[in-house]
Amino acid sequence: MWALYLLYALLIVIILLCITLCVVIGSYGVWFYFKKTMDDCNIFFNEYNSSSKKAIDKYGDCMITRAYLITVPLSNFTLFVLNLITMQNSKTILDDAMHLQLMIEIETSNHEKKMILIDKTNCINILTEFNINDEHVIIPIPIKLKHKHTLSGILDKTHDRVGKLKFFNWHIYKNNCHYFIKELIFQINNEFRSRYIKSPKKFKHRCNKLFCNELAMGLYHVVMFLYNFFQKYIINVKQHIVSKITNMV
């Protein structure tokens, strides 16, 4: 009998939490709709996630021996979401827009070579396991040999150069993957240029075409809030718990 009452109480608590969460998210979305503009940022992150921390702890002091700029076509899912938000064909507006990543080769103390991918979506991801396929374009980046470059070194210098807010967070044209990767590459070779790296001015022009009304802009901010919320409080927390359990074992 008591077990049944306890089950009912637990169910009520879960329902109340879900309702509260929906109200908070809905209120936040409405606030964004009326208050936010395309120039405002979603501020959510102030540190690396667990998988990135693990990669930095393991390979942060290793010397970078090679570096590559990676271009990735926008996924069909991304274009689909943008089409829903903007109610227009986003592919024609985005034209040749690409997602950019930085791949580096490092040499360990045992003289082994490892490949690491640095990616910036809504947060920073430093990956030791990743896939490269036929759709990716790989552009070698000449490394200036006068200075020793390490994973931690280029990350820390970029952090100091752009500031904590821009480093850890994302903005659709001010602080996207193009801006972040360009700043990382600057630490390796400040003379490197590529036609694939687009300027914030060009992205702003595209954004003005995409989000041409308040409804589209409001929907964009709501989607970004939900995406960031899910990333920080579900995916990152899950990674942290798994990392803790792995270390204990």
What's the confidence (pLDDT) of residue 244? Answer: 61
Q: Which of 128, 166, 155, 156 is nearest to 45 (CA)?
A: 166
Question: What's the pLDDT at 149?
Answer: 92
Q: pLDDT means per 10 residues in the chain (249 residues)?
A: 65 77 63 50 77 94 95 89 83 82 94 95 92 93 83 96 91 90 94 90 84 77 79 69 59
Strand arrangement, sheet containing 137-141: 124-127, 113-120, 98-107, 63-73, 137-141
What does the pLDDT look like over 49-64, one tens digit per residue?
Answer: 888 999 999 999 999 9
Q: What are the tens digits of pLDDT across the range 155-177?
A: 999 999 999 989 998 888 888 99
Q: What is the pLDDT of residue 34?
A: 47
Q: Which two tokens stand for residue 16?
A: 């109340």
pTM: 0.77
Look up residue 13 and give its amino acid: V
Which residues 6+ apart lie within 8 Å of 126 measured at CB?
Answer: 48, 51, 52, 55, 56, 116, 117, 118, 119, 151
What's the alpha-carbon Rg for the chain, to the nearest Å?
21
Give the pLDDT confidence score for residue 77 in this predicted structure.
Answer: 86
Quick one: tokens of 110? 């045992």
Nearest to 154 by CA among 188, 181, 180: 188
87 in the Ramachandran plot: left (φ > 0), alpha (ψ -120 to 50) or beta?
A: left
